[in-house]
Amino acid sequence: MTTTETIKPPLPEQQQDVPGTIAAMDPRPDHGETSYQGRGRLEGKKAIITGGDSGIGRAVAIAFAREGADVLIAYLNEDDDAKDTAEWIEKAGRKAVLVPGDIGAADHCRAIIDRAVEAFGQIDILVNNAAHQMTFESLEDIPDEEWDATFRTNIHAMFYLVKAAAPHMREGAAIINTTSVNADMPKQTLLPYATTKGAIQNFTGGLAQLLAPRGIRVNCVAPGPVWTPLIPSTMPPEQVKEFGQSYPIGRPAQPVELAPAYVMLATDEASYISGATVAVTGGQPIL
């Protein structure tokens, strides 16, 4: 059975504590550990990926390494998942650097960039991927602190990281932000999350224009439903069971299915692609 067949709903009902772990997921996500084949398209490049311990970020980290890039993984506190991701990077013959901490803090974002410059000497790719989401059935259920935390993690951190990284990025560098299908089709039970994803899309478009004179490209990827620890740790079990079922393909994506979009946007071949949103949504159009 292929890994895409294993995640066709109905999925096993399950629940985890935030932020969730790969090991507790049923079925286990496919990040490309045994399937992604690199072609040297990012040879010699140095990348930063936030949220690179699991989910989309882990799949992108594995793909980048197999394409020839050294990778710094920024993550919150999921040490076991992060160390496992680092092992896959190193198995590809590339350097892995792990930096735990809360990217909602501006000082920590600057520390991530400083660590990358110290380890690599340059920054060629910045993938702003880490995200926080929680499900709420009514407006009154959303605590002020939750609203603030979602914005700090999902959009404020992107500003802090980009501002610190840009002086170290040369012509031809790439910034890739993870937005969501929720930027165009906001789900009412994900109001804080969906709102930040719309902000990310606008941030990407404006930043692409602002950094174009420096030769730095800025794009975003808009995933649909993806089978990551964020799902069982932030959604009720009955919603996990049906996750992705309403999309045209009829299932969520495996994280590995997102990686090619990030690789493409990071390559030199994408030299005229900037300010774009690449939808990876299983047939759900973003117009």
Rounded to a whole number, what is the largest CA-CA distance in the chain?
50
Going from the C-alpha of 148 to that of each of 29, 76, 195, 199, 270, the distances in angstroms are: 30, 17, 12, 14, 35
Residue 285 lies in a domain: no
pLDDT at 15: 93
* Strand ranges, E, within 51-181: 70-75, 96-100, 125-128, 174-178
Domain span including residue 256? 12-280
Residue 5 lies in a domain: no
The whole-model pTM stands at 0.96
Residue 166 lies in a domain: yes
* Strand ranges, E, within 9-147: 46-50, 70-75, 96-100, 125-128
pLDDT at 192: 97
Task: Identify the active-site residue in 75, 193, 247, 262.
Answer: 193
pLDDT at 287: 73
pLDDT at 1: 53
pLDDT at 144: 97
Residue 6 lies in a domain: no
Residue 231 lies in a domain: yes
Domain count, the chain: 1
Residue 26 lies in a domain: yes
Peptide bond into 10 cis (omega under 30): yes
- Distance between CA atoms of residues 258 and 223, nearest Å: 7
Residue 200 lies in a domain: yes
278 in helix, strand or coil?
strand
- Distance between CA atoms of residues 63 and 264, nearest Å: 11
- Length of the chain equals 287
Q: Is residue 36 annotated as a catalytic residue, yes or no?
A: no
Residue 193 lies in a domain: yes
Whichever domain contains 82, its CATH number is 3.40.50.720
Residue by residue, pLDDT tens for the chain (287 residues) are: 578 888 999 999 999 998 888 999 999 999 999 999 999 999 999 999 999 999 999 999 999 999 999 999 999 999 999 999 999 999 999 999 999 999 999 999 999 999 999 999 999 999 999 999 999 999 999 999 999 999 999 999 999 999 999 999 999 999 999 999 999 999 999 999 999 999 999 999 999 999 999 999 999 999 999 999 989 998 899 999 999 999 999 999 999 999 999 999 999 999 999 999 999 999 999 87
Residues 177 and 220 sit within 8 Å (Cβ to Cβ): yes
